[in-house]
Amino acid sequence: MQTLTVKISRLSDKFLDIPLPKYATEGSAGMDICAAVENELIIASGSTVLVPTDFSIELPVGYEAQIRPRSGLAIKYNIGIMNSPGTIDSDYRGEVKILLTNFGNESFSVKRGDRIAQMVISSYTRVAWNETDELSKTVRGEGGFGHTGINHKT
């Protein structure tokens, strides 16, 4: 397995007790991200809030950080990330913040140090468009949005 070294900075001394993003198990693809809040943060039903993490990162060009919801928060409390996965670009140097949405019917409480999201570092390919008047033909053609999941008998 390849290891990529990435610079990370804490933004203050107020949250030194909050762990930096880390893998929970040997096989984890995502690192848990913890909330850096001084006081309990309540997310009302149907609301979206930016939750601070108190860190910023310096990714190499060609990499992004994908911010994803935690499945446990989703299934137990209906908490997710509206723009999932969110992307942290390699040239962004601001604080990583998590856009949590409460899709449930009850308020949800975020406490200091709670694991609120996961972060996956991924490489990407830049595209150079080759504009053309015609694309190659395939069996599928223009079929989309459930095209392969429907069986009609004729």
Q: Within a domain: residue 44? A: yes
Exposure class string for 39-56: b at 16+ Cβ within 10 A, else e? eebebeeeeebebbbbbb
Q: Give the pLDDT confidence of 46-73 residue by residue, as tens digits.
A: 999 999 999 999 999 999 999 999 999 9
pTM of the model: 0.86
What's the domain count of the chain? 1
Q: Within a domain: residue 115? A: yes
3-class DSSP state for residue 71? helix
Structural domain of residue 21, as residue ranges?
Answer: 7-127
One-letter amino acid of 2 = Q
Q: Give the pLDDT confidence of 71-94 residue by residue, as tens digits.
A: 999 999 999 998 999 999 999 999
Q: Within a domain: residue 132? A: no
